Amino acid sequence: ARRDDERTGTAALERWLRRSGVTAPIRSHGLAGTGIGEALLSLAADTDADLLVMGCYGHSRARELVLGGVTRTVLRTMTLPVLTAH
């Protein structure tokens, strides 16, 4: 199991970033009790981030009404510049 984690988890992400010339701390945070969009913005504020980079995509209207939308939440309530990619 550990080998799989090293290839697909945070260790793999960190190696990929380093190969791309990016040295950045990688942290895991629980999202219990809050929406993901709010948690991302809260983490950005807590770490004094200058920019939030995130992938974005949409779901059907029905699914977003039931589950909400991270992209929509972040873009409506952003407190820092956000770079999005699809």
Count CB atoms within 10 A of the CB of residue 80.
13
Q: Which domains does the chain have, with CATH numbers?
A: 1-30 (no CATH), 33-86 (3.40.50.620)
Q: Cβ–Cβ contacts within 10 Å for residue 25, how many?
A: 6
* β 52-55/82-85 pair status: parallel
What was the pLDDT predicted at 27? 74
Residue 26 CB burial class (10 angstroms; 0-12, 13-18, ≥19): exposed
Q: What confidence tens digit (pLDDT) does each residue in 12-70 have?
A: 888 888 999 988 777 777 666 668 888 889 989 998 999 998 887 766 666 655 555 78
